[in-house]
Amino acid sequence: MKIFIDSANVEEIRKAADIGILDGVTTNPSLIMREGRDYKKTLKEICGITKGPVSAETISLDAKGMIKEGKEFVKIAKNIVIKVPMTQEGMKACSIFTKSGIKVNTTLVFSANQALLAAKAGSYLVSPFLGRLDDMGQTGMELIEEMRQIYDNYGFKAQILAASIRSPQHVKESALSGADVATIPFKVYEQMFKHALTDKGIKAFLDDWDKLQKELKKK
């Protein structure tokens, strides 16, 4: 499963990329606004950090506006993917983008039917929002499983991008359920590396090493 960072914080993205296992980035105007930065300049900087897909979200609600914005975004870098909402206008824009060779991330997907339509419209990435479904008392991971079965049944090329990730548990379950990608906050990314037994094991190794050095000095 590919790992994307869901962030507009350039330093976080750079730290994640430096480890060598980052596959891409998703961001949106809200995340960039929190950083107090220019949208297009931030996207350009992010695209310079990773060679993987970088999702740039459109603001317009009509297909014409989405297409206009998307055509400007793809000028920023070759790895830009245009993010559009799961609406009729969004799917109209997705179909047009796809036919012209522009990759699309369909976002705000909350049902298997929506995921089916997004795949038929030619989406490169389809983003079910797990955490938001969980917040409503539904089980977000069931949607991943349904999407995996539907896409495999019909050979759809769309990749399932698990979004609205809240914890390392979400990441694990996404991988087990067959998601192609998980886009995760930097905090969760860092948590994935940690385990109490790993820390305990490292401490024990270092303690033993120190004891060995002291013994050698006595000889």
Number of domains in the chain: 1
How far is residue 10's CA from residue 42's CA, in Å, rounded to a whole number?
8
76 domain-assigned: yes
37 domain-assigned: yes
Q: Average pLDDT, whole number, for the chain?
A: 95
Q: Which of 40, 71, 83, 120 is catalytic?
A: 83
CATH code for the domain of 107: 3.20.20.70
Q: What residues have CB less than 8 Å from 5, skipping those under 6 apart? A: 12, 13, 16, 22, 24, 25, 26, 183, 184, 185, 186, 189
pLDDT in tens, 127-144: 999 999 999 999 999 999
Question: Any catalytic annotation for residue 83?
Answer: yes
47 domain-assigned: yes
| Residue of 94, 95, 98 lying closest to 108 (CA atoms) | 94
72 domain-assigned: yes
The first and second tokens of residue 62, run together, are: 């009509």
218 domain-assigned: no
How far is residue 72's CA from residue 25's CA, in Å, rounded to a whole number?
19
180 domain-assigned: yes
Write down the pLDDT at residue 33: 84
By residue range, what is the domain housing residue 69? 2-194
Contact of 184 with 5, CB cutoff 8 Å: yes
203 domain-assigned: no
Write down the pLDDT at residue 65: 98
pLDDT in tens, 66-81: 999 999 999 999 999 9
207 domain-assigned: no
Write down the pLDDT at residue 5: 97
Q: What length does the chain have?
A: 219
